[in-house]
């Protein structure tokens, strides 16, 4: 088992293994998302309170969940890279960040669009989740901006790792702060997901979407990490053998 | 070899002496704070209800921005004249020295804001008990900002256009402070219970105190190589 | 068609799904493009070194 992990941490092995895994992840993702979307849009019954608008849940929740998953992956791999000096870990953190930012943006956009018919406004500062997502977007931007500002890759890795870890401590605090703040308002009711007892016909598509998007995220992440690895290892022999033998590229 | 307390005192003293020679370090944030706080009523209009309502928020945002601006120079001059190397190589533990720099930063840029706040609070027609809460929250908040801000300052020292980046990095860290600080003062203005907010700010401050110096030290070592 | 109207919430629901599709497509394409770019860049640099060896 340790040997497998040890092998995995070696860039060329990772590069090849990831290439094999990605198509499978993509296929599973496509199947689950196709089922989830169709069932969520057309088969699940309309919500008693929100009508058909609740169907946005099937894209909003996966997006929000992925935004947080990506941040966790980013922070954990950054920490591993910082403490154990694993190059591959830093590559994972670097790859996760832009994906996380995209899904955070998607969560915010779908959340805002969902909010319009529900709250009557495009933005509701009192909603703790929306505000925490916004702050998480800033965390992602900060991380990516810091990386971009430092030329030396190793230095950028370590500096951004410190930032990611500090941010990770902060995310739950931010969420709690905004929740406290909004609980003091006599504000509009928060968007309830699904209804008092979420029935199977509503639940299964949601689970399918969440799992499906996770596989999609996995595929996208693995492919971005492959790119990172290729760049970081550009001077290594295995890369030269890969790209040059008969002029073929990866 | 001097003890920890000596080490802390000497770096604080050094920074205070340097700041004495550069009054701008203290005056700039102060002026900025005053400026934003007075421009706002000018722009929004003198209606007393509006002023009273917006007072806590405006004063808090102004203080936050002033603190953010002052963080840029925290390590900049040390970096430029090479003393940062000395600080990092010093036999004293680096987190201790980072703590010392945060302390002196607060004394120079944060404490003056707290002291000036009652005067500015008057322009927002803030009653005395609310002003007291304002001062307390600002104290806790600016201390937290000096601690957390030094992490960002350490990460961006020596980078081109580090200023904008610094603000972006610190913003998420500063949000809970802003939210709780401003909201607690608003509660005080409405004669509601402020204990919860104060406790949170104090807890956040303690948290910052316990991990920020270490994060700053790590960041300094990384940035300075 | 009524199915697509989603009881008046149509524009909201469909714009969300469309946006999701767009974001997924863009992030995928972006990733692939970057991989190709890096691959080309590295290949070029390796080829530059070849003649000298």
Q: Does A170 touch chain B (CB under 8 A)?
A: yes
Inform me whether the pLDDT recorded for A249 exceeds 60.
no
Q: How far is the C-alpha of B131 from the C-alpha of B189, rounded, in Å?
A: 9
Query: What confidence tier does A184 reach under pLDDT thresholds 50, 70, 90?
Result: low
Q: What is the CB neighbour count within 10 angstroms for residue A2?
A: 6
Q: How far is the C-alpha of A208 from the C-alpha of A186, rounded, in Å?
A: 35
Q: Does B195 touch chain A (CB under 8 A)?
A: no
How confident is the model at residue A54, as a pLDDT? 84
Please give the share of chain A, as a percent, with pLDDT higher than 90.
58
pLDDT digits (tens, 9 = 90+) for B3-57: 888 889 999 999 999 999 988 888 999 999 999 998 988 888 888 888 888 899 9
How confident is the model at residue A9, as a pLDDT? 77
- A226 to chain C: nearest residue by CA? C35
Cβ separation of A63 and C30 shorter than 8 Å? no
| Owner of token pair 């404490």 | B111
Mean pLDDT rounded to a whole number for chain A = 86
Contact between chain A and chain C (3 or more Cβ pairs less than 8 Å apart): yes
Inform me whether the pLDDT recorded for A196 exceeds 70.
no
Cβ separation of C42 and A243 shorter than 8 Å? yes
Inform me whether the pLDDT recorded for A135 exceeds 80.
yes
Question: Which residues 46-65 of chain A have a CB within 8 Å of chain C?
Answer: 46, 51-53, 55-56, 59-60, 63
- The C-alpha of A124 sits at a distance from chain B's nearest C-alpha, in angstroms, of 15
Query: What confidence tier does A191 reach under pLDDT thresholds 50, 70, 90?
Result: very low
CB A56 within 8 A of CB C16: yes
Query: What confidence tier does A187 reach under pLDDT thresholds 50, 70, 90?
Result: very low
Q: How far is the C-alpha of B155 from the C-alpha of B177, rounded, in Å?
A: 21
Query: What confidence tier does A37 reach under pLDDT thresholds 50, 70, 90?
Result: very high
Most B CBs within 10 A among A136, A155, A159, hence the mutation to make, goes to: A159
User: What's the rounded mean pLDDT across residues B137-165?
Assistant: 92
User: Which residues of chain A have a CB within 8 Å of the CB of B215?
Assistant: 162, 165-166
Burial per residue of B153-182, b for 16 or more beta-carbon CB atoms within 10 angstroms, e otherwise? bbbbbebeebbebbbbbbbbbbbbbbbbbb
User: What's the rounded mean pLDDT across residues C18-46?
Assistant: 95
Inform me whether the pLDDT recorded for A190 exceeds 50.
no
User: Which residues of chain C have a CB within 8 Å of the CB of A56?
Assistant: 12-13, 16
Inform me whether the pLDDT recorded for C45 exceeds 80.
yes
| Among B222, B223, B221, B210, residue whose Cα is nearest residue B99 | B210
Contact between chain B and chain C (3 or more Cβ pairs less than 8 Å apart): no
Higher pLDDT pick, A171 / C36: C36
How confident is the model at residue A192, as a pLDDT? 47
How confident is the model at residue B47, as a pLDDT? 87
Alpha-carbon distances, residue B22 vs A85, B157, B165 (angstroms): 41, 20, 25
Inform me whether the pLDDT recorded for B157 exceeds 70.
yes
User: What's the rounded mean pLDDT across residues A215-238?
Assistant: 95
Which range has highest mean pLDDT (A221-230, B151-160, C6-15)?
A221-230
Higher pLDDT pick, A148 / A1: A148
Structural domain spans, chain A: 16-238
CB B70 within 8 A of CB B122: no
H helices of chain A, where? Answer: 2-8, 11-38, 57-84, 87-119, 128-149, 153-183, 200-232, 237-243
User: What's the rounded mean pLDDT across residues B169-192?
Assistant: 91
Cβ contacts of residue B32 below 8 Å, gap of 6+? B62, B65, B66, B69
Long-range contacts of A16-19 (CB under 8 A, 24+ apart): A18/A222, A18/A223, A18/A225, A18/A226, A19/A226
How confident is the model at residue A221, as a pLDDT? 97
């Amino acid at each position: 088992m340790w040997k497998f992990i040890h092998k995995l941490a070696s860039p060329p092995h990772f590069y090849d293994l990831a290439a094999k895994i990605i198509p499978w992840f993509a296929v599973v993702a496509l199947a689950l998302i196709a089922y989830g979307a169709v069932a969520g849009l057309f088969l699940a019954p309309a919500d008693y309170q929100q009508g058909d608008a609740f169907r946005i849940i099937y894209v909003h929740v996966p997006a929000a969940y992925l935004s947080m998953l990506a941040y966790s992956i980013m922070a954990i791999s950054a920490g591993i890279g910082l403490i154990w000096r694993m190059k591959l870990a830093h590559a994972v953190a670097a790859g996760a960040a832009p994906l996380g930012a995209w899904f955070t943006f998607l969560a915010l956009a779908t959340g805002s669009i969902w909010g319009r018919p529900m709250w009557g406004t495009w933005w509701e500062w009192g909603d703790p989740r929306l505000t925490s997502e916004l702050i998480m977007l800033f965390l992602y931007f900060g991380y990516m901006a810091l990386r971009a500002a430092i030329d030396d890759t190793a230095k950028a890795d370590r500096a951004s790792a410190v930032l990611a870890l500090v941010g990770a401590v902060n995310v739950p605090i931010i969420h709690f702060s905004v929740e406290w703040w909004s609980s003091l308002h006599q504000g509009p009711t928060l968007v309830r997901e699904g209804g008092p007892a979420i029935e199977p016909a509503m639940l299964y598509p949601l689970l399918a979407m969440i799992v499906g998007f996770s596989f999609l995220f996995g595929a996208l992440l693995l492919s971005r990490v492959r790119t990172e690895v290729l760049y970081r290892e550009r001077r290594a022999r295995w890369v030269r053998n890969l790209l040059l033998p008969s002029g073929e590229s990866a | 070899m001097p003890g920890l307390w000596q080490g802390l005192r000497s770096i604080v003293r050094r920074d205070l002496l340097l700041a004495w020679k550069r009054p701008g370090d203290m005056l700039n944030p102060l002026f900025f704070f005053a400026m934003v706080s007075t421009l706002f009523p000018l722009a929004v209009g003198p209606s007393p209800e509006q002023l009273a309502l917006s007072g806590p928020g405006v004063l808090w945002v102004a203080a936050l921005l002033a603190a953010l601006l002052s963080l840029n120079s925290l390590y900049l001059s040390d970096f430029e004249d090479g003393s940062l190397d000395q600080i990092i190589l010093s036999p004293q533990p680096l987190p201790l020295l980072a703590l010392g720099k945060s302390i002196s930063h607060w004394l120079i840029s944060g404490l003056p804001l707290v002291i000036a706040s009652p005067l500015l609070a008057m322009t927002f027609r803030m009653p005395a008990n609310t002003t007291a809460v304002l001062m307390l929250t600002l104290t806790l908040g600016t201390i937290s900002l000096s601690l957390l801000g030094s992490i960002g300052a350490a990460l961006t020292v020596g980078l081109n256009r580090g200023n904008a980046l610094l603000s972006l990095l610190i913003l998420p860290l500063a949000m809970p402070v802003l939210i709780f600080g401003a909201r607690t003062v608003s509660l005080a203005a409405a004669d509601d219970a402020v204990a919860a907010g104060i406790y949170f700010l104090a807890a956040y401050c303690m948290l910052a105190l316990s991990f920020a110096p270490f994060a700053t030290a790590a960041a300094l070592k990384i940035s300075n190589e | 068609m009524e199915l697509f109207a989603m009881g008046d919430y149509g524009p909201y629901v469909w714009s969300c799904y469309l946006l999701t599709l767009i974001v997924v497509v863009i992030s995928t394409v972006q990733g692939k493009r970057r991989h190709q770019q890096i691959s080309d860049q590295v290949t070029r640099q390796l080829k530059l070194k070849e003649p000298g060896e």
